């Protein structure tokens, strides 16, 4: 897990990004200059999910050295201690519901 996306362009590490990028359509002004980007709603949701995953990977990268020191030294919480709070968290439920539609 230490090698998560280090110094690699995103299009090399995640083909989904290429798919989304190549699906983009552009609006142009009367001079022919691109002014806006249009994505389908499906690709927009895929992009949001991809960005969330990249953010999660960055968090893991940042925490990995501390986590490798073990659960006690890293300050990790036991699942049994946080399970009920996690399951009752409205943000977690909304995230789960959002990902079911993608």
- Assigned domain for 95 exists: yes
CB count within 10 Å of CB 98 equals 13
Q: Which range marks the domain in which residue 42 is found?
A: 10-100
Candidates 10, 6, 14, 16; CA nearest to 61 is 6
In a domain, 3, yes or no: no
C-alpha radius of gyration, the chain, whole number:
19
Asked whether residue 57 is assigned to any structural domain, the reply reads yes
* In a domain? residue 5: no
Segment 30-64, tens digit of pLDDT: 999 999 999 999 999 999 998 888 888 888 888 88
pTM of this structure: 0.53
Give residue 2's pLDDT.
40
Kindly report, residue by residue over 65-92, the tens digit of the pLDDT: 888 888 788 888 888 888 888 878 766 6
As a whole number of angstroms, the distance between CA 24 and CA 43 comes to 9
**In total, how many domains does the chain have?**
1
Mean per-residue pLDDT, 5-31:
79
């Amino acid at each position: 897990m230490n090698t998560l996306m280090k110094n690699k362009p995103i299009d090399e590490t995640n083909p989904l990004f290429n798919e989304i990028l190549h699906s983009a359509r552009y609006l142009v002004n009367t001079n022919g200059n691109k002014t806006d980007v249009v994505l389908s709603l499906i690709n927009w949701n895929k992009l949001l999910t991809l960005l969330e995953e990249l953010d999660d990977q960055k968090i893991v990268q940042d925490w990995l050295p501390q986590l490798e020191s073990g659960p006690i030294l890293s300050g990790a919480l036991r699942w049994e201690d946080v399970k009920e709070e996690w399951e009752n968290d409205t943000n977690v439920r909304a995230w789960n519901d959002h990902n079911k539609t993608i």
